Chain A
Amino acid sequence: MYEFSYVKPASLDEAAQLLANHDDAKPLSGGMTLIPTLKQRLAQPSHLIDIAALTELRGIEVTAGQLIIGAATRHIEVATSMTVRTALPALAALASTIGDPQVRNRGTLGGSVANNDPNADYPAAVLALGATVHTQRRAIAADDFFQGVFTTAIEEGELITRIAFPLPTRAAYAKFPHPASGFAMTGVFVAETGGRVRVAVTGAGPGVFRWREAEAALADRFAAESIEALVVDPSGLNADIHAPAEYRANLMKVLASRALRAILNSSEGAVA
C-alpha cells in the first residue's frame, strides 16, 4: 500500500466537494475491491473518501412501481430486506450469492456497480431490469451506464447515490459461481418488465451485456425451450484460467434455461 489520507465526510455534499478538490481522491464504500487493489499497489489515491455511512446513500424503499436502493447499502441488507424480498425476490436472491459472509457484510451495491467487474453479479440485474443509476449530478439509464470491463459512464468526482429498479412482472437470476471467490463464472438475469423481456449476461463476456437473441426468442415464446434452441457463438466470450469461452457459451444457455424454469415454476428468483 502507498500512503494516503483517509477522510470521513459528514454529508454527500462534503464528499462531492472533497472529490472535486483532490484530483487523486477516490470514494471508499465497502472497500472489498478497493482495499485489495491498494494492497497490491495497483492504485495510488491521495485520499480515500469514506462514503459508506452517508445517510443520503442508504435506505431501501418502494415508490411508484420502483425499488430504490441507496448506493451504500450492503449486500447482506439487500439479501435480507423484507422489502426487497417481497418486491424483487430475484435481486435479494442474487445478493445472497455474492462472495462470502464477510464480503456481503461490507460490500455495497454502489461499489459493485461503479466497479463493473466483468464477473460481478449486480450489473446483470441492473441491466436486465433496465434500472436507472442516479448520481449527485444526473440519472443514467443502465443501457448507457455499463461500457465494458471495469468501465462505466461515471465521470471524475461523480458518485452513485442510488439505483432505481423498475419492478418486473417476473424475473430470476441463475449463476455458476467461481468455486473460490463466488464471482460469476457466468450469470444470467432474465426479467420481464412492462411486457418486455430483457436478458443480461455477466461473467461470460468482456463486461455485462444484453443477450439480444435470447430476448427475441423469449419475446416469441417465454419458455426454456426457446433458449435451448439458440446457438451461442463462443468467439468474443471470455477465456481465462477459470474457463474457456466454449464452456461459458454452454453456461449461458444452461443458466438462462434455469432462470426461465425458475420463473415458470414460480419459485423465488432462483440461483443455480
Chain B
Amino acid sequence: MDAKVIKEEQIGRSVPRMEGAAKVTGRAEYIHNIRLPGVLHGKMFRSRIAHGRIVSIDTSAARAVAGVHSVVTGEDIQRLIAEPYYGPAFHDQPVLALHKVRYVGEPVAVVLATDPHVAEYAAGLITAQYEELPAVFNEVEAATSPIHVHDELKPAITFPDLKHLKGKRGTNIALDYKLRRGDVEAQFASAAHVFEHEFHTQHIMHTPFEPFVALAEPMDDSITIHTSTQMPAYVRLEIARLLGWPENKVKVRTAWLGGGFGAKVYVKIEPMVVALALLARRPVKMSLTMEEQFYVIGKHATTFRIKSAVTADGRISARKCEVFWNGGAYADIGPRVSQKSGFTSTGPYRIEHAQIDSAEIYTNLPPAGAFRGFGIPQLVWAYESHTDIIARALNIDPLEFRRRNILREGDEHPTGTAMRDAEFEEVLVRISARMGWDQPFDRGTGTKRRGRGIAIGVKASIAPTTSFALVNVSADGSAVLFCNTIDMGQGSNTSMAQLVAQVLGTSSERVRVTQADTDVTPFDMGTLGSRSMFHMGHAVRLAAEHAREQLEALCAETGIEYQDEHSIAQAFRKKFGMQAGNIFGVGHYTSRYQPADHDTGMSKEITPFWMIGGTGIELEVDTETGHVTILRMVNVVDAGRAVNPRVVDTQISGAALMQMGATLSEEMVFNEGELTNPSLAFYKIPGMRDMPVAIENEALEAETRSGPFGAKGVGESGTFGVSPAIANAIDDAIGVRLYSLPLTPEAIYRGICAARGEPLVD
C-alpha cells in the first residue's frame, strides 16, 4: 500500500490545544483587552435592599463629577426600549431596575465616564429612596409565601411548556415539572422498608477568572457587540428582539473566553451595554469586577425531599422526589434546570413507581441559572446520599446495592425513555476496580479516621437544539471551520478541528477554527450543557462531509486521486490554473426529541443521549477539627468515544475539582438577602494546595452510536458523583451523616459532637 494513503486517525488523537501557546505567552485575545476610541466605561449603582419600590433615585452628585458623561436609570432605558425586560424563559429581568428592586445587588443606575475610575467614584455618590417591601429568601417558604417577587408571570415564547404560566399572578413558582409513573403511595404503604430524607445545597458562584465583560459599538444603522458569551446567536436574537431590529443589524462577536461554566449563557450584561451605547451614541464598555460577579448569576440552592420504598431483597420499588430550586429574583434559564434536570431526580436506577415534583421558585436573592452540571450535582448529592444511607441501613454493601438497582441497556428510565449507550454499571465497575473496593482498607487510628465512598449520577441533554457549521477549504487543502461553539478553555476548537480533519483525511493542524462572529459564523443554540460535541460535532461532521463530496468531485473532474491536502491542492491548481478558489461545506443538526407529556412528565425520547459520571473517594477526617483531606479521587465517565483523550481527561478532572469546591468550602452566605462574603478572601474556591493527594480519571471505552464518531459530551460528567461520594466517605470514616452542603470542617465537627451526645450549642 502507498505509504501516503495511510492517514493517522484524527479521532482519538491527543492533539495539543491549538491556542495553548498563545494563551501561556499572553497573546490570546480577550474582550477585556479591546481598546476603542471614544469609549465610555459604565459602572453600576446597586440596590442595597432585597425588595422594595423605587421612590426616587438621586443622581445629581454623580452627574456633577468632572469627567462623568451621563447617569442612566431604568426610566432612561425605557425611552429607548418600551418594554425593557429580557430573559430566555421569562421576560422578567429589567435592563436596569424599573419601579422595583428585587434583590440586594440589583443594578439600579449606571454612570458613564471616559475613565472607569471616575465612573466608579461617581456611582458611589448615587443614592436611592425605596419603599421597602417584605422579602422572601428560602425556596420552600417562597413556594407558598404571600410575598411575591413578581406581580405577574411573563413567559417568553421560547419554551412551549411555560406557556400555561402566562399572566399567572400570586405565585413565586416559575415552573412546576411533574412526573407521575405508577403508584408510589401504594408502594410506600406495602414496602418492606421506607426511607425518607431531606437534603440541601447552597448558593454558589461560577467564578470564571474572566469576569463578565461586554463592549457595544453603535454603527450607522447597526450595532456590534464584543462580548464574553457562551451564546452569541442567542445574544443577537434577544438584542434584536429588545430593539425591534432585524437580526442582521446586530453583530455579536467573541474572543477567547476566560471560563464560563454556564455563567455566560443567554444574555447577561449585553442588554445593558447595548442600551447605554445607543443612549450615549458612543461605544460603551462594562467590565465587572470579580466581586460583582456574585450579583449576576449563581448556582441554585436547593431543598430536595426524597422518599424510597425498598423491597426485602434490596430493590427500590418506588421513589418520590420533591425538589425546590431557589431561582433568585429573575428566572434566567432556571426553569430549564428545574425541568431538564428535574426529570432525572430519581437517579440512574430502575424504578417502576416514580413521582417527581421539581419547581423553580422566585426569591429575593441574586438569580440562579445554568452552572456546570445544569442542576445535576444538586440532585445527585441528594439521591446518592440517600442511596448510601439505605444500603448501610439494610446492611448491603453500597456498591452491591447500586449494582442491584442500576439501569441497564434497554431498561426504561422512569420518564419512559429506554436506555441506550449508557454504561452505568461499567462506570461502577471501573471505579470499584480502581479503588480495590473488595480489598481491606486502612481505616486510620486515633484522631485521623479514614473512609471511602462512591456515587454515580446521570444527566440528560437539553433538547431539542440545533447547530449549524460551515467548512471553508482553501486551495492549498487547509481549512477554516466557522462554528459558534465557544472555546472557553474546554478545548472545543481543537476537538472540532479533529472532526474536520478526520473527514477530509487531512491533519488537525491544517484546520483552523474561527472565533464566533454572528455576521459570518452560522447559528448555534449555544455552548452549554455538554451539548456541543454531540450537536455541533454532528453539524461539523456533516459540513466536512459536504465539503469532501465536492472535493472528491473536483478531484474526479481534474483526474487526481483524492488522498490528502496535497491532492486537494493539486486539484484546485489544475482546475483554476493557480492556487485559487474555495469549497464550502455546510451542515446542520437538530437533535431528536419528544416533549414530555404535561400531566405525566413522560416521553419516549426525552434526550438524544445520556451522560454518566461517577466518583470514588478515599479521605481522612481529623476528628478534632473536622478537617477533611481527600486522599484519592477516582472519576470515571461514559463520554462515548474520546475524540481527544487529553482534552477529555482535563474536562473530567476540571469538572470534579470544581464540584469539590462546591462540596467542601464554597458558599454564598446571605443575611436577610445581603451577601456577607462577596470576596475571594472569604469565599473559598479550591486552589492548587487543595487538590486531592491523588486523582485518577477514566473515560470508559464506549461508543455512543447516535453521536458523531461515537462521541458525546463530557464537560459536566465529572461533577456528578463528587459531593455524595465525599459525604458517603465521611460517613464511612466517622459514622456522621451530613445533609447540607458545604461539608465544612465546622459542619463535620458539629456532626461529630452530636454523634457523641455533646452537641455544639450556639
A residues contacting B by CB (< 8 A) are 1, 41, 176, 178-181, 234, 239, 241-247, 250-251, 254, 272
- B677 contact set on A, CB distance < 8 A: 241
Query: Could you give 12 example pairs across A and B, Cβ below 8 Å?
Result: A1-B117, A176-B627, A178-B684, A179-B665, A179-B684, A180-B684, A245-B762, A246-B760, A246-B761, A247-B749, A251-B625, A254-B625
Given contacts A247-B749, A250-B749, A180 and B762 within 8 Å (CB-CB): no
CA distance A41 to B746 in the complex (A): 33
Known A180-B682, A180-B684; contact A244-B676, beta-carbon cutoff 8 A: no
Chain B interface, >50% SS class: loop
Out of A1, A239, A241, A242, name the residue touching B762 (CB < 8 Å): A239
Partner of A246, one of B625, B683, B762: B762
Indicate if the CB atoms of A247 and B746 lie closer than 8 Å: yes
Contact B680 A180 (CB under 8 A): yes
Q: Which residues of B contact A234 (CB under 8 A)?
A: 762
Q: How far is the CA of A254 from the CA of B622 in the complex (A)?
A: 11
Given contacts A246-B761, A247-B760, A254-B624, contact A181 B749 (CB under 8 A): no
Which chain B residue lies CB-closest to A250?
A: B749
Min C-beta distance of B169 to chain A, whole Å: 37
Closest to A243 in B: B746
Interface: B669 (CB within 8 A): yes
Instruction: Please name all residues of chain A whose beta carbon is closer than 8 Å to the beta carbon of B208 when the two chains form the complex.
Output: none
Chain A residues whose CB sits within 8 angstroms of the CB of B750 once the complex forms: 247
Query: Is B681 an interface residue when CB atoms closer than 8 A count as contact?
Result: yes
Q: Does B124 make an interface contact (CB < 8 A)?
A: yes
Q: Which residues between 647 and 683 of chain B lie within 8 Å of chain A, taking CB atoms?
A: 665, 669, 676-677, 680-683
Give the complex CA separation of A180 and B668 in angstroms: 13
With a cutoff of 8 Å between Cβ atoms, the chain A residues found around residue B762 in the complex are 234, 239, 244-246
With both chains docked as a complex, state the minimum distance between the C-beta of A76 and any C-beta of chain B, in angstroms: 17
Asked if A241 and B683 make an inter-chain contact with CB atoms under 8 angstroms apart, the answer reads no
Are A181's CB and B682's CB within 8 A?
A: yes
Report chain B residues within 8 Å CB of A246.
760-762
Q: Which residue on chain A has the smallest CB distance to residue B690?
A: A179
B-side contacts of A181, CB under 8 Å: 681-682
Q: Does A244 lie within 8 Å of B117, measured CB to CB?
A: no
Contacts of B685 in A (CB 8 A): 180
Closest Cβ neighbor of A179 among chain B residues: B684
Q: What residues of chain B lie closer than 8 Å to A41, measured between beta carbons?
A: 124
Apart from A179-B690, A241-B677, A244-B760, what 18 extra A-B contacts exist at CB < 8 Å?
Answer: A1-B117, A41-B124, A179-B684, A180-B681, A180-B682, A180-B684, A181-B681, A239-B762, A241-B669, A241-B676, A241-B682, A245-B762, A246-B760, A247-B746, A247-B749, A250-B624, A250-B625, A251-B625
How far does the Cβ of B385 sit from chain A's closest Cβ, in whole Å? Answer: 23
A245–B746 alpha-carbon span in the complex (Å) = 11
Give Cα A239 to B762, complex, Å.
9
The answer on a CB contact under 8 Å between B683 and A180 is yes
Q: How far is the CA of A244 from the CA of B117 in the complex (A)?
A: 38
What residues on B are CB-neighbors of A245 within 8 Å?
762
Closest beta carbon of chain A to B753's beta carbon, Å: 8
CA of A113 to CA of B606, assembled, Å: 62
The CA of A145 and the CA of B672, in the complex, are separated in Å by: 38
| A-chain residues with CB within 8 Å of residue B681 when the two chains form the complex | 180-181
- Separation in Å of the B755 CB from the closest CB of chain A? 15
Distance in angstroms between the alpha carbons of A244 and B626 in the assembled complex:
14
The docked-state distance in angstroms from the alpha carbon of A261 to that of B683 is 32
> A242 CA to B117 CA in the complex, in Å?
32
Mask for B614-637, Cβ within 8 A of A = 1, else 0? 000000000011010000000000
Taken together as a complex, chains A and B put the C-alpha atoms of A105 and B749 apart, in Å, by: 34
**In the complex, which residues of chain A have a beta carbon less than 8 angstroms from the beta carbon of B683?**
180
Contacts of A244 in B (CB 8 A): 746, 760, 762
A247 and B682 CA atoms in complex are apart in Å by 18
